[in-house]
Amino acid sequence: MHRATSRRTMKARRDAHRGWSIETLSYSPSRIVRLGDEKVAILFPPLEPGAAWQLYPHPDTFPGLNFEGLPEPLRPEFLSFPDLTEVERFLGIREEEPAALAA
């Protein structure tokens, strides 16, 4: 395993207990997904009404095509979600059920 990849893998494991967060950017409609202090993914908002949110591993953190060290539940592909709440639920940020389903 390459040294940089090994460091990312160890850091991702160490930061796993720190939790996920979604950071809104002031200069772009895209958002950064962090695991602890590390940027791990980019969240792209829908391009048109009714389109999906797209989650993709951050290319600065995981260069190349192998995405070695990518933390779960991320996968080395675009992941589509109908809304931001579903993204949060996927990452474990939001655990509760929507009010309409909980009743």
- pLDDT 10s digits, 43-56: 999 999 999 999 99
Residue 103 lies in a domain: no
pLDDT of 101 higher than 50: no
Residue 83 lies in a domain: yes
Residue 99 lies in a domain: no
Domain extent, residue 70, equals 3-94
Residue 100 lies in a domain: no
Backbone dihedral region of 36: left (phi > 0), alpha (psi from -120 to 50 degrees) or beta?
A: left
Residue 101 lies in a domain: no
Residue 12 lies in a domain: yes
Q: What confidence score (pLDDT) does residue 86 get?
A: 95
Residue 65 lies in a domain: yes
In whole numbers, what is the pLDDT of the chain averaged over residues?
Answer: 81
Amino acid letter for position 95: E
Domain count of the chain?
Answer: 1
Nearest CA to 55 among 38, 74, 36, 68? 74
- Helix, strand or coil, per DSSP, at residue 5: helix
pLDDT of 32 higher than 70: yes
Residue 89 lies in a domain: yes
Q: How far is CA 13 from CA 6, 17, 41, 45, 82, in A?
A: 11, 8, 16, 28, 29
